[in-house]
């Protein structure tokens, strides 16, 4: 437990973290990787270059300071991050290293304002928070390894099938090289894939949602080829998977992880809303609901640039044709004029959303690019959908909606 004095000191730094948080975390990562370049085997280099990881850590540090007197308030976020850490292979011995460089970054950025009293309070607080992470992650490692078909660290999988789903999305069907059982998962969860790219100094780890229902003898991931844009380079791992991984290739996977799952014991109708490659966890949920809850009403809404960029359309339409409780709608931002039927041109908006849903008394799940999710979240809030009925997943470090 933290002393009242420590809590008061940490609370006093909240305004400073609000202003200097990203500068502190940027300094932290530079210092960390200079001293321990081996950690680049774990971290997503692209998120570092784009500043996403720095912003996510700044938000986490700010939240910890803001709620330091009631850390239970941020426990859901801690558990979410712990799931990612377990999936990536973060170890207990990494925490003292991180703490050393985080305190060093605070001192560097704040200068004389970072008094011994402040640094001491943050050192104490970091120790408490680190112990929480280490404990949760230890439990996750044990649970993951001891479940039926489970394993620790990374396991070799062979690509049994490679299927092009759209102009930019390809699915990989993965089966374990050892021929043993694979761990069950909840629809919406992901696996980490560890890749060694020829010519690259460090390995790359990326997390991809599982895009089929549980209970199959394989895992399926569906990967978008990330092309170069004005503000970012092409995705090294996604391009490598598309161009250099074939049927018969070996990929190394950690066991399924993640807390973006269908709420247990929830019987309300379900609305699944996806944008672009954000459909991957939604397809897993849709397939599962169709198989396991044939009487539950499900509405599937997908937004894409056009039909050529729309993955798995035919599969969803076949599901809808077989299951009367399912319905699906397509929203194309810039139709080419050659599409089959679609339901809305342009972007999603609340009047159209309200017009196609039987009721707003439902559980809403959505995933896609951050601007898309921000828009959907805003619509649902405007529609007075309760917080408890809104569920979403970020690809990559958590941002804010």
Q: Which 3-state string (H, E, C) describes 178-211?
A: CCCCCCCCCCCCEEEEEECCCCCCCCEEEEEEEC
pLDDT value of position 180: 97
What pTM was estimated for this model as a whole?
A: 0.92
Residue found by looking up tokens 């972007």 in the block: 347
Decide if 95 is catalytic: yes
* CATH topology for the 270-393 domain: Rossmann fold (3.40.50)
pLDDT value of position 72: 86
Residue numbers belonging to the annotated binding site for FAD = 190, 206-209, 394-397
* CATH topology for the 4-146 domain: Globin-like (1.10.490)
Residue numbers belonging to the annotated binding site for heme b = 85
Dist. CA 367–CA 275, nearest whole Å = 7
Decide if 146 is catalytic: no
Q: Who contacts 37 (Cβ-Cβ below 8 Å, separation ≥6)?
A: 202
Q: Is 93 exposed, middle or buried (0-12, 13-18, 19+ CB in 10 A)?
A: exposed
DSSP string, 307-375: GGG-TTHHHHHHHHHH-TTEEEEEEESS--S-----SEESS--HHHHHHH-S-S-SEEEEESSHHHHHH
Residue numbers belonging to the annotated binding site = 85, 190, 206-209, 276-281, 394-397
Q: Is 370 exposed, middle or buried (0-12, 13-18, 19+ CB in 10 A)?
A: middle
Nearest alpha carbon to residue 281 among 395, 371, 184: 395
pLDDT value of position 350: 97
Dist. CA 11–CA 8, nearest whole Å = 5
Residue numbers belonging to the annotated binding site for NADP(+) = 276-281
Radius of gyration from C-alpha coordinates of the chain: 22
pLDDT value of position 33: 93
Element at 392 (helix H, strand E): strand 390-393
CATH code given to domain 155-253: 2.40.30.10
Taking only the tens of pLDDT, the chain with its 401 residues reads: 789 999 999 999 999 998 999 999 999 999 999 999 999 998 887 777 777 888 888 888 888 888 998 888 888 888 989 999 999 999 999 999 999 999 999 999 999 999 999 999 999 999 999 999 999 999 999 999 999 999 999 999 999 999 999 999 999 999 999 999 999 999 999 999 999 999 999 999 999 999 999 999 999 999 999 887 767 777 889 999 999 999 999 999 999 999 999 999 899 999 999 999 999 999 999 999 999 998 999 999 999 999 899 999 999 999 999 999 999 999 999 877 665 688 999 999 999 999 999 999 999 999 999 999 999 999 999 999 999 999 998 876 666 66
List the catalytic residue out of 137, 165, 307, 393: 137
- Boundaries of every domain in the chain: 4-146, 155-253, 270-393
**φ, ψ for residue 117, nearest 5 deg:** -65, -45
pLDDT value of position 56: 83
């Amino acid at each position: 437990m933290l002393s009242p004095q420590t809590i008061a000191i940490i609370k006093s730094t909240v305004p400073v973290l609000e202003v200097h948080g990203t500068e502190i975390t940027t300094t932290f990562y530079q210092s960390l990787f200079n001293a321990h370049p081996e950690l680049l085997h774990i971290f997503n280099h692209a998120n570092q270059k784009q500043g996403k990881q720095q912003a996510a850590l700044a938000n986490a540090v700010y939240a910890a300071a803001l709620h330091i007197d009631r850390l239970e308030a941020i426990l859901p976020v801690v558990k979410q991050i712990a799931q990612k850490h377990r999936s990536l292979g973060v170890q207990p011995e990494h925490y003292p290293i991180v703490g050393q460089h985080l305190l060093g970054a605070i001192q560097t950025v704040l200068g004389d304002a970072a008094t011994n009293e402040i640094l001491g309070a943050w050192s104490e607080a970091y120790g408490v928070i680190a112990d929480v992470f280490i404990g949760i992650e230890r439990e996750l490692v044990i649970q993951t390894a001891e479940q039926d078909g489970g394993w620790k660290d990374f396991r070799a999988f062979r690509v049994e099938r490679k299927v092009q789903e759209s102009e930019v999305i390809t699915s990989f069907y993965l089966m374990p090289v050892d021929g043993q059982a694979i761990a069950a998962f909840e629809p919406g969860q992901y696996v980490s894939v560890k890749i060694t790219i020829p010519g690259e100094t460090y390995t790359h780890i990326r997390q991809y949602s599982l895009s089929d229902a549980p209970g199959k003898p394989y895992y399926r991931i569906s990967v978008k080829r990330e092309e170069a844009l004005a503000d970012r380079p092409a995705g090294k791992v996604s391009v490598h998977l598309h161009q250099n991984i074939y049927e018969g290739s070996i990929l190394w996977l950690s066991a399924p992880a993640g807390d973006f799952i269908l709420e247990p014991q929830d019987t309300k109708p379900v609305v699944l809303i996806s944008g672009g490659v954000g459909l991957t966890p939604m397809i897993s949920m849709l397939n599962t609901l169709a198989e396991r809850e044939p009487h539950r009403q499900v509405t599937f809404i997908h937004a894409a640039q056009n039909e050529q960029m729309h993955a798995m359309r035919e599969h969803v339409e076949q599901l809808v044709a077989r299951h009367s409780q399912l319905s699906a709608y397509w929203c194309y931002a810039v139709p080419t004029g050659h599409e089959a039927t679609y339901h809305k041109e342009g972007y999603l908006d609340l009047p159209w959303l309200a017009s196609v849903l039987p009721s707003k008394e439902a559980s809403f799940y959505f995933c896609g690019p951050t601007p898309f999710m921000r828009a959907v979240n805003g619509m649902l809030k405007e529609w007075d959908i309760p917080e408890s009925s809104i569920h979403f997943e970020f690809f990559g470090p958590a941002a804010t909606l």
